[in-house]
Structure 1
């Protein structure tokens, strides 16, 4: 069986980043970071799920709200139920996030919801597994059979990153993470939710926009200039969040590809 990896953005959460970046610890990162250019790495849209994707909705929410929720809880200001907790969250974020908070909190009740927020320790996938919004498969596996960058050499512009992997036992809920080793040493990467899949062979494609971002503000952090030279792209597919020490987490496989910017 061969299929396409499905990634989608939840409109309710206004297309915010899927997951706070925490890539595999055995990658040679120089520092913890978030993606330097918001538009540098994009997943090529391939398919949309019909109806509500509860796992995706939950992970999108957790990536944006867990830190705020934890701060609200630690401040000790929550004495009521889900409505009060999620109302405070909505006032600090947005009404849409507050609505999703209420939906998820009502599943388990406010006391258990608070315990799960604290136990998850800012890990969105583990949080959603504790809420049973995302399924678990600890017997899963995945092995990359292809990872290429196209073109292999060329001027600044868009490079296609194509991957294929095989799974004998299916995969758990996890993520696919990317890191670009740049010529000037500026860290660049991102991570994307990878939902549970049955056994089979799967393909997907990312597009890397290898050209300076005109909207990058150097006062907020370094701006990648995509200088001429050789670049390495590392990819990892994981059960759970890549690099997480929580249950239901492991790195299935890693691979890398190279390309050269000529000018």
Structure 2
């Protein structure tokens, strides 16, 4: 019971600090910004019980894959999962990350885990499919049936709600919902959210866009979106696997676009 409690605590800590995955929908990588905040996804059909390792694995890999690759490149004796994951915990300063590494590594063993990290080529969903934590389903489909923004216009500081509805005849595989904004000042704003395997049905998701400058954004470290008056194009993609990935089990199901206006 103690080991289960420790594992669950590690999962909660990791999910609380998880970083969004990097956008791969467009040809150019966009700058991820905190103005995009996922409110919730509300599938009409959902039946999940117990601990689901798929989202935990994707969050973990998104955060830790670069550190793991550095550990591998630096060499050293890595003959057991405890060696690798102990080194990862020390490198990241997070015992929670180390604990989840140990759980995932134990599924396939340290040698295969190390090889699959390199084979995944910085693709967290594909990696988690390779270690059989995320299910693969290549006969899926999804069709966006409604895409709106409310309110359609408002001054700087408005919270715009992007409402997405889609249907699937065959069900969906493990993948992503990606949102990308074409902004007035040309600064790319985007994010991607894990979509778990789902049965056929109708699904909905809401994303909020806080259209106000981020007070913590440091212009010396990168561009800061100012949310200038004008029209903003919202582009959505629903994908199996990572949007734009060239790995197996990846495809774009559907795309859509809408817009909102920031008034002067």
Alpha-carbon shift at residue 46 of structure 1 (Å) = 5.2
4+ residue runs of structure 1 moved beyond 4 angstroms?
46-50
SS of the equivalent of 2:31 reads coil
SS of the equivalent of 2:100 reads helix
Alpha-carbon shift at residue 19 of structure 1 (Å) = 4.1
Q: Let me know the Cα RMSD of the aligned residues.
A: 1.6
1:13 is matched with: 14
Alpha-carbon shift at residue 14 of structure 1 (Å) = 4.9
TM-score relative to the length of structure 2: 0.90
Task: Report 1:168-187 matches (<5 A).
Answer: 168-187=169-188
2:40 is matched with: 45
Corresponding position: 1:60 with 2:59 = yes
Give per-residue Cα distances to partners, 1:153-192, cap 9 Å, x unaligned: 1112100000000101100000100101000000100000
Task: Report 1:56-95 matches (<5 A).
Answer: 56-93=55-92, 94-95=94-95
Alpha-carbon shift at residue 69 of structure 1 (Å) = 0.6
SS of the equivalent of 2:191 reads strand
2:258 is matched with: 257
2:218 is matched with: 217
1:4 is matched with: none
Task: Report 1:1-263 matches (<5 A).
Answer: 11-24=12-25, 27=26, 31-36=28-33, 38=34, 40-45=35-40, 50-93=49-92, 94-156=94-156, 157-263=158-264
CA distance, structure 1, for counterparts of residue 209 and residue 255 of structure 2 = 18
1:6 is matched with: none
SS of the equivalent of 1:198 reads coil
Aligned partners of 2:238 and 2:252 also within 8 Å: yes
Number of corresponding residues = 248
Alpha-carbon shift at residue 50 of structure 1 (Å) = 5.0
Name stretches of at least 5 consecutive residues in structure 2 with no aligned partner.
1-10
Aligned partners of 1:172 and 1:195 also within 8 Å: yes
Aligned partners of 1:72 and 1:78 also within 8 Å: no
Aligned partners of 1:18 and 1:193 also within 8 Å: no
SS of the equivalent of 1:140 reads coil
Name stretches of at least 5 consecutive residues in structure 1 with no aligned partner.
1-9
Aligned partners of 1:20 and 1:34 also within 8 Å: no
CA distance, structure 1, for counterparts of residue 13 and residue 214 of structure 2 = 27
